[in-house]
A and B are shown apart, each in its own frame.
Chain A
Amino acid sequence: MLGSRTHLATDDLTLVKRVRSGDQRAFKLLVERYQRKVYAVALGMLKDKEEAMDVSQEAFVKVYKYLDHFKGDSSFYTWLYRITVNICIDVIRKRGGGGEAVEFDESQAVDLSEARIGALGSRLGTNPQKSALRRELAEKIQEALATVPEKHRAILLLREIEGMSYDDLARTLEIPKGTVMSRLFHARAKVQKILSEYLELDEAKSGVGGE
Protein backbone atom coordinates (compact mmCIF):
# COMPACT_ATOMS: atom_id res chain seq x y z
CA MET A 1 0.00 0.00 0.00
CA LEU A 2 1.13 3.49 -0.72
CA GLY A 3 -0.04 5.19 2.42
CA SER A 4 1.38 2.95 5.10
CA ARG A 5 4.79 3.45 6.65
CA THR A 6 6.19 0.24 8.01
CA HIS A 7 9.16 -0.27 10.27
CA LEU A 8 12.22 -0.15 8.10
CA ALA A 9 14.98 -2.73 8.35
CA THR A 10 17.75 -0.20 7.83
CA ASP A 11 16.82 3.43 8.30
CA ASP A 12 17.21 5.93 5.50
CA LEU A 13 20.00 7.93 7.09
CA THR A 14 22.18 4.84 7.58
CA LEU A 15 21.67 3.96 3.92
CA VAL A 16 22.52 7.52 2.90
CA LYS A 17 25.81 7.28 4.85
CA ARG A 18 26.62 4.02 3.08
CA VAL A 19 25.89 5.54 -0.30
CA ARG A 20 28.28 8.38 0.53
CA SER A 21 31.00 5.86 1.30
CA GLY A 22 30.55 4.34 -2.14
CA ASP A 23 28.04 1.60 -1.42
CA GLN A 24 25.89 1.42 -4.56
CA ARG A 25 23.73 -1.32 -3.11
CA ALA A 26 22.54 1.02 -0.36
CA PHE A 27 21.29 3.47 -2.96
CA LYS A 28 19.53 0.66 -4.76
CA LEU A 29 17.68 -0.12 -1.52
CA LEU A 30 16.59 3.50 -1.22
CA VAL A 31 15.31 3.49 -4.79
CA GLU A 32 13.40 0.26 -4.22
CA ARG A 33 11.94 1.65 -1.00
CA TYR A 34 10.56 4.83 -2.50
CA GLN A 35 10.05 4.17 -6.20
CA ARG A 36 6.31 3.48 -5.97
CA LYS A 37 5.53 6.48 -3.81
CA VAL A 38 7.68 8.84 -5.83
CA TYR A 39 6.00 7.59 -8.99
CA ALA A 40 2.54 8.03 -7.41
CA VAL A 41 3.35 11.64 -6.50
CA ALA A 42 4.67 12.31 -9.99
CA LEU A 43 1.64 10.67 -11.58
CA GLY A 44 -0.75 12.66 -9.40
CA MET A 45 1.08 15.84 -10.30
CA LEU A 46 1.47 15.22 -14.03
CA LYS A 47 -1.34 12.79 -14.90
CA ASP A 48 0.84 11.34 -17.65
CA LYS A 49 2.35 7.89 -17.06
CA GLU A 50 5.39 8.32 -19.29
CA GLU A 51 6.24 11.71 -17.89
CA ALA A 52 5.70 10.46 -14.35
CA MET A 53 8.13 7.60 -14.97
CA ASP A 54 10.78 9.93 -16.42
CA VAL A 55 10.38 12.39 -13.57
CA SER A 56 10.61 9.63 -10.95
CA GLN A 57 13.89 8.40 -12.41
CA GLU A 58 15.19 11.92 -12.72
CA ALA A 59 14.35 12.58 -9.07
CA PHE A 60 16.45 9.63 -7.91
CA VAL A 61 19.33 10.58 -10.19
CA LYS A 62 19.28 14.11 -8.74
CA VAL A 63 19.14 12.76 -5.23
CA TYR A 64 22.24 10.67 -5.93
CA LYS A 65 24.03 13.54 -7.60
CA TYR A 66 23.38 16.00 -4.78
CA LEU A 67 23.58 13.59 -1.88
CA ASP A 68 26.43 15.59 -0.40
CA HIS A 69 24.06 18.56 -0.14
CA PHE A 70 21.71 16.57 2.05
CA LYS A 71 22.59 17.63 5.57
CA GLY A 72 20.62 14.96 7.37
CA ASP A 73 18.85 17.43 9.67
CA SER A 74 15.53 16.46 8.09
CA SER A 75 14.19 13.14 6.88
CA PHE A 76 15.58 11.73 3.68
CA TYR A 77 12.11 11.27 2.24
CA THR A 78 11.08 14.91 2.74
CA TRP A 79 14.15 15.88 0.72
CA LEU A 80 13.38 13.26 -1.93
CA TYR A 81 9.77 14.44 -2.28
CA ARG A 82 10.83 18.09 -2.42
CA ILE A 83 13.06 17.25 -5.36
CA THR A 84 10.28 15.22 -7.00
CA VAL A 85 7.68 17.97 -6.58
CA ASN A 86 10.07 20.63 -7.87
CA ILE A 87 10.84 18.60 -11.00
CA CYS A 88 7.10 18.08 -11.55
CA ILE A 89 6.40 21.79 -11.21
CA ASP A 90 9.20 22.51 -13.71
CA VAL A 91 7.69 20.02 -16.15
CA ILE A 92 4.22 21.55 -15.74
CA ARG A 93 5.62 25.05 -16.35
CA LYS A 94 7.55 23.89 -19.40
CA ARG A 95 4.35 22.49 -20.80
CA GLY A 96 3.15 26.10 -20.74
CA GLY A 97 -0.12 27.64 -19.76
CA GLY A 98 -0.22 25.88 -16.41
CA GLY A 99 -2.95 23.54 -17.64
CA GLU A 100 -6.52 23.74 -16.51
CA ALA A 101 -5.72 24.56 -12.92
CA VAL A 102 -6.45 28.09 -11.76
CA GLU A 103 -4.74 29.54 -8.71
CA PHE A 104 -7.00 29.80 -5.69
CA ASP A 105 -7.59 32.98 -3.82
CA GLU A 106 -6.78 31.56 -0.43
CA SER A 107 -8.02 34.64 1.40
CA GLN A 108 -11.53 33.84 0.21
CA ALA A 109 -13.64 31.34 2.10
CA VAL A 110 -14.61 28.21 0.20
CA ASP A 111 -18.25 28.06 -0.69
CA LEU A 112 -19.34 24.50 -0.10
CA SER A 113 -23.01 25.20 -0.54
CA GLU A 114 -22.92 24.04 -4.16
CA ALA A 115 -21.50 20.67 -3.31
CA ARG A 116 -23.81 17.96 -2.05
CA ILE A 117 -22.75 17.61 1.53
CA GLY A 118 -22.18 14.04 2.58
CA ALA A 119 -22.70 12.64 -0.93
CA LEU A 120 -19.30 10.96 -1.11
CA GLY A 121 -19.31 9.63 2.41
CA SER A 122 -22.83 8.23 2.21
CA ARG A 123 -22.43 6.66 -1.24
CA LEU A 124 -19.09 5.06 -0.58
CA GLY A 125 -18.92 4.32 3.12
CA THR A 126 -16.88 1.18 3.74
CA ASN A 127 -19.16 -1.28 2.02
CA PRO A 128 -17.14 -3.56 -0.28
CA GLN A 129 -20.26 -4.00 -2.42
CA LYS A 130 -19.58 -0.51 -3.67
CA SER A 131 -16.17 -1.36 -5.02
CA ALA A 132 -17.27 -0.77 -8.61
CA LEU A 133 -18.25 2.79 -7.79
CA ARG A 134 -15.10 3.21 -5.75
CA ARG A 135 -13.02 2.15 -8.75
CA GLU A 136 -14.92 4.47 -11.04
CA LEU A 137 -14.42 7.40 -8.72
CA ALA A 138 -10.78 6.51 -8.12
CA GLU A 139 -10.22 6.88 -11.83
CA LYS A 140 -12.19 10.11 -11.87
CA ILE A 141 -10.09 11.54 -9.08
CA GLN A 142 -7.10 11.89 -11.41
CA GLU A 143 -9.12 14.28 -13.51
CA ALA A 144 -10.24 16.16 -10.42
CA LEU A 145 -6.64 16.48 -9.27
CA ALA A 146 -5.67 18.10 -12.55
CA THR A 147 -8.00 21.01 -11.80
CA VAL A 148 -6.19 21.82 -8.57
CA PRO A 149 -3.22 24.24 -8.77
CA GLU A 150 0.09 22.37 -8.67
CA LYS A 151 1.23 23.64 -5.26
CA HIS A 152 -2.04 22.56 -3.67
CA ARG A 153 -1.95 19.30 -5.56
CA ALA A 154 1.51 18.54 -4.23
CA ILE A 155 0.37 19.01 -0.63
CA LEU A 156 -2.69 16.85 -1.12
CA LEU A 157 -0.65 14.08 -2.75
CA LEU A 158 2.10 14.07 -0.16
CA ARG A 159 -0.47 13.99 2.61
CA GLU A 160 -2.42 11.09 1.12
CA ILE A 161 0.39 9.04 -0.40
CA GLU A 162 3.08 9.43 2.22
CA GLY A 163 0.80 10.32 5.12
CA MET A 164 3.08 13.25 5.95
CA SER A 165 2.31 15.32 9.01
CA TYR A 166 1.65 19.01 8.54
CA ASP A 167 5.08 19.75 10.03
CA ASP A 168 6.75 17.45 7.48
CA LEU A 169 4.72 19.00 4.67
CA ALA A 170 5.85 22.45 5.79
CA ARG A 171 9.49 21.28 5.83
CA THR A 172 9.24 19.48 2.51
CA LEU A 173 7.69 22.37 0.65
CA GLU A 174 9.39 25.06 2.71
CA ILE A 175 6.17 26.89 3.57
CA PRO A 176 4.55 27.83 6.91
CA LYS A 177 2.31 25.27 8.59
CA GLY A 178 -0.66 27.63 8.27
CA THR A 179 -0.20 27.65 4.51
CA VAL A 180 -0.15 23.85 4.51
CA MET A 181 -3.46 23.78 6.34
CA SER A 182 -5.02 26.35 4.07
CA ARG A 183 -3.82 24.77 0.82
CA LEU A 184 -4.90 21.33 1.92
CA PHE A 185 -8.34 22.61 2.80
CA HIS A 186 -8.78 24.36 -0.57
CA ALA A 187 -7.43 21.41 -2.55
CA ARG A 188 -9.77 18.99 -0.81
CA ALA A 189 -12.75 21.24 -1.25
CA LYS A 190 -12.06 21.48 -4.97
CA VAL A 191 -11.60 17.74 -5.50
CA GLN A 192 -14.65 17.02 -3.40
CA LYS A 193 -16.80 19.38 -5.39
CA ILE A 194 -15.83 17.72 -8.66
CA LEU A 195 -16.43 14.25 -7.31
CA SER A 196 -19.79 15.24 -5.86
CA GLU A 197 -20.85 16.74 -9.18
CA TYR A 198 -19.79 13.54 -10.89
CA LEU A 199 -21.82 11.51 -8.40
CA GLU A 200 -24.84 13.72 -9.00
CA LEU A 201 -24.47 13.30 -12.73
CA ASP A 202 -24.09 9.55 -12.29
CA GLU A 203 -27.23 9.37 -10.18
CA ALA A 204 -29.19 11.46 -12.66
CA LYS A 205 -28.09 9.17 -15.51
CA SER A 206 -28.87 5.94 -13.73
CA GLY A 207 -31.88 7.29 -11.87
CA VAL A 208 -30.40 6.11 -8.55
CA GLY A 209 -31.17 8.07 -5.43
CA GLY A 210 -29.20 7.95 -2.22
CA GLU A 211 -28.32 4.47 -0.96
Chain B
Amino acid sequence: MAGNPACERFVPMLSPYVDGELSSAERVNVERHLAACRDCTGRAADLRAESGLLRVGLDMAVDDVDFKDFTQRVMARVTPDKPPFMERLRLAVSEMFLYQRTAMISSLATAAVLVLVGLPLLMSDRAPVGYAAERMTVKSIQPYRNAEVAPVVMETDNGGTIIWLVDEDSDVLPPSGVESGERQDKTGGGQPDGNGRSVPARPVPDAPRPSGGSL
Protein backbone atom coordinates (compact mmCIF):
# COMPACT_ATOMS: atom_id res chain seq x y z
CA MET B 1 0.00 0.00 0.00
CA ALA B 2 1.51 3.28 -1.04
CA GLY B 3 2.13 6.34 1.12
CA ASN B 4 1.62 6.46 4.83
CA PRO B 5 2.20 3.05 6.52
CA ALA B 6 -0.71 3.76 8.86
CA CYS B 7 -3.00 3.51 5.82
CA GLU B 8 -2.79 -0.27 5.96
CA ARG B 9 -4.74 -0.15 9.19
CA PHE B 10 -7.17 2.55 8.19
CA VAL B 11 -8.05 1.70 4.60
CA PRO B 12 -10.34 -1.24 5.54
CA MET B 13 -12.10 1.08 7.99
CA LEU B 14 -12.95 3.66 5.35
CA SER B 15 -15.86 1.66 3.92
CA PRO B 16 -17.66 1.29 7.29
CA TYR B 17 -16.65 4.89 8.01
CA VAL B 18 -18.55 6.30 5.01
CA ASP B 19 -21.45 3.97 5.86
CA GLY B 20 -21.61 5.33 9.40
CA GLU B 21 -21.00 1.88 10.86
CA LEU B 22 -17.99 2.61 13.07
CA SER B 23 -18.10 3.06 16.80
CA SER B 24 -17.52 6.60 17.95
CA ALA B 25 -13.98 5.76 19.14
CA GLU B 26 -13.10 4.21 15.75
CA ARG B 27 -14.62 7.15 13.94
CA VAL B 28 -12.51 9.61 15.89
CA ASN B 29 -9.36 7.60 15.05
CA VAL B 30 -10.24 7.47 11.35
CA GLU B 31 -10.97 11.18 11.23
CA ARG B 32 -7.67 11.93 12.92
CA HIS B 33 -5.91 9.84 10.27
CA LEU B 34 -7.86 11.49 7.45
CA ALA B 35 -6.78 14.89 8.68
CA ALA B 36 -3.16 13.81 8.24
CA CYS B 37 -3.43 11.62 5.12
CA ARG B 38 -4.32 12.99 1.70
CA ASP B 39 -4.48 9.54 0.13
CA CYS B 40 -7.06 8.24 2.54
CA THR B 41 -9.08 11.44 2.23
CA GLY B 42 -9.09 10.79 -1.53
CA ARG B 43 -10.08 7.16 -0.95
CA ALA B 44 -13.00 8.18 1.28
CA ALA B 45 -14.15 10.67 -1.39
CA ASP B 46 -13.91 7.89 -3.99
CA LEU B 47 -16.06 5.61 -1.85
CA ARG B 48 -18.74 8.28 -1.51
CA ALA B 49 -18.66 9.01 -5.25
CA GLU B 50 -18.90 5.31 -6.07
CA SER B 51 -21.82 4.87 -3.72
CA GLY B 52 -23.65 7.77 -5.37
CA LEU B 53 -22.85 6.45 -8.84
CA LEU B 54 -24.21 3.03 -8.06
CA ARG B 55 -27.48 4.49 -6.87
CA VAL B 56 -27.76 6.85 -9.84
CA GLY B 57 -26.93 4.03 -12.25
CA LEU B 58 -29.54 1.69 -10.85
CA ASP B 59 -32.10 4.48 -10.53
CA MET B 60 -31.61 5.27 -14.21
CA ALA B 61 -31.98 1.62 -15.16
CA VAL B 62 -35.11 1.17 -13.05
CA ASP B 63 -36.66 4.38 -14.38
CA ASP B 64 -36.52 2.88 -17.86
CA VAL B 65 -38.79 0.04 -16.77
CA ASP B 66 -42.56 0.21 -16.91
CA PHE B 67 -43.95 -1.34 -13.73
CA LYS B 68 -47.57 -0.85 -14.82
CA ASP B 69 -48.27 -4.56 -15.25
CA PHE B 70 -45.82 -5.85 -12.68
CA THR B 71 -48.23 -6.02 -9.75
CA GLN B 72 -50.99 -7.46 -11.93
CA ARG B 73 -48.73 -10.24 -13.15
CA VAL B 74 -47.63 -11.13 -9.66
CA MET B 75 -51.19 -11.03 -8.36
CA ALA B 76 -52.38 -13.22 -11.22
CA ARG B 77 -49.80 -15.81 -10.20
CA VAL B 78 -50.64 -15.77 -6.51
CA THR B 79 -54.42 -15.44 -6.63
CA PRO B 80 -55.97 -18.80 -5.77
CA ASP B 81 -59.02 -20.25 -7.51
CA LYS B 82 -62.05 -18.09 -7.14
CA PRO B 83 -63.32 -18.20 -3.55
CA PRO B 84 -67.06 -18.58 -2.94
CA PHE B 85 -69.23 -15.58 -3.76
CA MET B 86 -70.05 -14.72 -0.14
CA GLU B 87 -66.37 -14.91 0.79
CA ARG B 88 -65.45 -12.59 -2.09
CA LEU B 89 -68.21 -10.19 -1.09
CA ARG B 90 -67.07 -10.18 2.53
CA LEU B 91 -63.48 -9.51 1.48
CA ALA B 92 -64.48 -6.81 -0.99
CA VAL B 93 -66.56 -4.97 1.62
CA SER B 94 -63.92 -5.28 4.33
CA GLU B 95 -61.19 -4.12 1.92
CA MET B 96 -63.31 -1.18 0.85
CA PHE B 97 -63.73 -0.07 4.47
CA LEU B 98 -60.08 -0.72 5.19
CA TYR B 99 -58.46 1.02 2.26
CA GLN B 100 -61.10 3.49 1.07
CA ARG B 101 -62.67 4.47 4.34
CA THR B 102 -62.95 8.17 3.54
CA ALA B 103 -64.40 7.56 0.09
CA MET B 104 -66.86 5.04 1.50
CA ILE B 105 -68.05 7.36 4.27
CA SER B 106 -68.53 10.28 1.89
CA SER B 107 -70.39 8.03 -0.59
CA LEU B 108 -72.69 6.74 2.13
CA ALA B 109 -73.33 10.27 3.38
CA THR B 110 -74.18 11.42 -0.16
CA ALA B 111 -76.50 8.47 -0.65
CA ALA B 112 -78.25 9.22 2.66
CA VAL B 113 -78.78 12.86 1.70
CA LEU B 114 -80.15 11.84 -1.69
CA VAL B 115 -82.59 9.41 -0.08
CA LEU B 116 -83.75 11.95 2.50
CA VAL B 117 -84.29 14.68 -0.08
CA GLY B 118 -85.27 12.69 -3.13
CA LEU B 119 -87.63 10.14 -1.66
CA PRO B 120 -90.26 12.59 -0.34
CA LEU B 121 -90.20 14.34 -3.71
CA LEU B 122 -90.75 11.10 -5.56
CA MET B 123 -93.46 9.93 -3.20
CA SER B 124 -95.51 13.12 -3.43
CA ASP B 125 -98.09 13.01 -6.21
CA ARG B 126 -97.34 16.17 -7.99
CA ALA B 127 -99.81 15.75 -10.86
CA PRO B 128 -103.37 16.77 -9.88
CA VAL B 129 -106.17 14.66 -11.26
CA GLY B 130 -109.06 15.79 -13.39
CA TYR B 131 -109.50 19.26 -14.75
CA ALA B 132 -106.45 20.53 -12.95
CA ALA B 133 -104.14 18.01 -14.54
CA GLU B 134 -101.20 19.76 -16.09
CA ARG B 135 -101.28 18.18 -19.49
CA MET B 136 -104.92 17.24 -19.82
CA THR B 137 -105.96 17.33 -23.43
CA VAL B 138 -109.13 16.09 -24.97
CA LYS B 139 -108.31 13.42 -27.48
CA SER B 140 -111.79 12.43 -28.52
CA ILE B 141 -115.42 13.06 -27.74
CA GLN B 142 -117.64 9.98 -27.75
CA PRO B 143 -121.27 10.65 -26.96
CA TYR B 144 -123.31 7.55 -26.07
CA ARG B 145 -126.04 6.47 -28.40
CA ASN B 146 -129.62 6.77 -27.22
CA ALA B 147 -128.53 8.46 -24.08
CA GLU B 148 -131.10 10.54 -22.30
CA VAL B 149 -128.46 13.06 -21.61
CA ALA B 150 -125.55 13.82 -23.86
CA PRO B 151 -122.44 12.89 -22.05
CA VAL B 152 -119.11 13.98 -23.44
CA VAL B 153 -116.39 11.48 -22.71
CA MET B 154 -112.95 12.95 -22.83
CA GLU B 155 -109.87 10.85 -22.71
CA THR B 156 -106.74 12.45 -21.38
CA ASP B 157 -103.27 11.65 -22.58
CA ASN B 158 -102.39 9.91 -19.33
CA GLY B 159 -105.16 7.36 -19.85
CA GLY B 160 -107.78 9.03 -17.69
CA THR B 161 -111.36 9.59 -18.77
CA ILE B 162 -113.58 12.53 -18.07
CA ILE B 163 -117.28 12.25 -18.63
CA TRP B 164 -118.92 15.55 -19.25
CA LEU B 165 -122.69 15.44 -19.10
CA VAL B 166 -124.34 17.84 -21.47
CA ASP B 167 -127.88 18.98 -20.99
CA GLU B 168 -130.29 17.67 -23.63
CA ASP B 169 -131.69 20.38 -25.83
CA SER B 170 -135.08 19.14 -26.97
CA ASP B 171 -135.59 22.13 -29.28
CA VAL B 172 -133.15 20.86 -31.79
CA LEU B 173 -134.80 19.32 -34.78
CA PRO B 174 -134.01 15.79 -35.61
CA PRO B 175 -131.98 15.39 -38.72
CA SER B 176 -133.81 14.50 -41.91
CA GLY B 177 -134.51 10.84 -42.54
CA VAL B 178 -134.93 10.18 -38.85
CA GLU B 179 -138.34 9.00 -37.69
CA SER B 180 -140.37 11.48 -35.73
CA GLY B 181 -140.32 10.86 -32.00
CA GLU B 182 -137.01 9.13 -32.10
CA ARG B 183 -134.79 10.78 -29.66
CA GLN B 184 -131.62 11.92 -31.18
CA ASP B 185 -128.65 13.18 -29.39
CA LYS B 186 -127.64 16.46 -30.87
CA THR B 187 -124.04 16.02 -30.11
CA GLY B 188 -123.74 12.66 -31.58
CA GLY B 189 -125.21 9.23 -31.48
CA GLY B 190 -124.47 6.65 -34.11
CA GLN B 191 -126.39 6.76 -37.33
CA PRO B 192 -127.00 3.76 -39.51
CA ASP B 193 -125.29 4.07 -42.84
CA GLY B 194 -126.58 2.73 -46.08
CA ASN B 195 -125.37 -0.74 -45.31
CA GLY B 196 -127.14 -0.93 -42.02
CA ARG B 197 -124.00 -0.37 -40.02
CA SER B 198 -123.79 2.17 -37.33
CA VAL B 199 -121.76 5.21 -38.20
CA PRO B 200 -119.95 6.87 -35.29
CA ALA B 201 -121.71 9.96 -34.11
CA ARG B 202 -120.22 13.30 -35.00
CA PRO B 203 -120.95 16.57 -33.28
CA VAL B 204 -123.30 18.82 -35.19
CA PRO B 205 -121.33 21.83 -36.34
CA ASP B 206 -123.91 24.47 -35.48
CA ALA B 207 -125.03 22.85 -32.25
CA PRO B 208 -124.74 25.02 -29.14
CA ARG B 209 -121.53 24.54 -27.18
CA PRO B 210 -122.01 22.16 -24.28
CA SER B 211 -122.04 23.73 -20.95
CA GLY B 212 -120.22 22.23 -18.07
CA GLY B 213 -122.04 19.74 -15.96
CA SER B 214 -121.24 18.08 -12.75
CA LEU B 215 -118.82 15.19 -12.64
B92 CB to nearest chain A CB (Å): 10
- Give per-residue flags for B1-29: 1 if the beta carbon is below 8 A from chain A beta carbons, else 0: 11000001001100110010100000000
Q: Which residue on chain B has the smallest CB distance to residue A142?
A: B57
Answer whether residue B75 sits at the interface, using C-beta atoms and an 8 A cutoff. Answer: yes
A85 CB to nearest chain B CB (Å): 15
Q: Which residue on chain B has the smallest CB distance to residue A138?
A: B57
A1 touches B8 (CB 8 A): no
B19 touches A53 (CB 8 A): no
Answer whether residue A31 sits at the interface, using C-beta atoms and an 8 A cutoff. Answer: yes
Q: Which of A76-84, A86-94, A95-103, A180-188 lies at the interface?
A: A180-188
Which chain B residues lie closer than 8 Å to A20 at the CB level?
none
B50 touches A192 (CB 8 A): yes
Q: Which residue on chain A has the smallest CB distance to residue B73?
A: A57
**Given A39, A124, A139, A181, which contacts B49 in the complex, CB threshold below 8 Å?**
A124
Answer whether residue A117 sits at the interface, using C-beta atoms and an 8 A cutoff. Answer: yes
Q: Which residue on chain A has the smallest CB distance to residue B79?
A: A24
Which chain B residues lie closer than 8 Å to A110 at the CB level?
11
Q: How many inter-chain residue pairs (CB < 8 Å) link A and B?
A: 158
Chain A: how many interface residues by the 8 Å CB criterion? 63
Which chain A residues lie closer than 8 Å to B12 at the CB level?
109, 181-182, 185
A37 CB to nearest chain B CB (Å): 8
Which chain A residues lie closer than 8 Å to B11 at the CB level?
110, 112
B15 touches A185 (CB 8 A): yes
Q: Is the interface of A mostly helix, strand, loop or mixed?
A: helix
B67 touches A141 (CB 8 A): no
**Given B19, B44, B59, B75, which contacts A24 in the complex, CB threshold below 8 Å?**
B75
**Given B2, B46, B74, which contacts A192 in the complex, CB threshold below 8 Å?**
B46
Q: Which of A39, A118, A125 has the most CB of B within 10 A?
A: A118
B55 touches A142 (CB 8 A): no
Q: Is the interface of B mostly helix, strand, loop or mixed?
A: helix
**Given A53, A109, A122, which contacts B42 in the complex, CB threshold below 8 Å?**
A122
A181 CB to nearest chain B CB (Å): 6
Q: Which residue on chain B has the smallest CB distance to residue A4?
A: B55
B14 CB to nearest chain A CB (Å): 8
Answer whether residue A147 sits at the interface, using C-beta atoms and an 8 A cutoff. Answer: no
Which residues of A does B touch, CB under 8 Å? 1-3, 18, 22-25, 27-28, 31-32, 35-36, 39-40, 43-44, 49, 53, 56-57, 60-61, 64-65, 109-113, 117-122, 124-125, 134-135, 137-139, 141-142, 145, 156-157, 159-161, 165-166, 181-182, 184-185, 188, 191-192, 195-196
Closest 4 CB pairs of A and B: A118-B42, A121-B45, A138-B57, A120-B49
Which residues of B does A touch, CB under 8 Å? 1-2, 8, 11-12, 15-16, 19, 21, 39, 41-62, 65, 67, 70-71, 73-75, 77-79, 91, 94-95, 98-99
* Complex A-B: 28 CB contacts under 8 Å: A3-B55, A24-B75, A27-B78, A35-B70, A36-B62, A40-B59, A43-B61, A43-B62, A44-B58, A109-B12, A110-B11, A112-B2, A113-B1, A117-B39, A118-B42, A118-B46, A121-B42, A121-B46, A121-B49, A122-B45, A124-B49, A125-B49, A134-B53, A135-B60, A142-B57, A161-B55, A191-B54, A195-B53
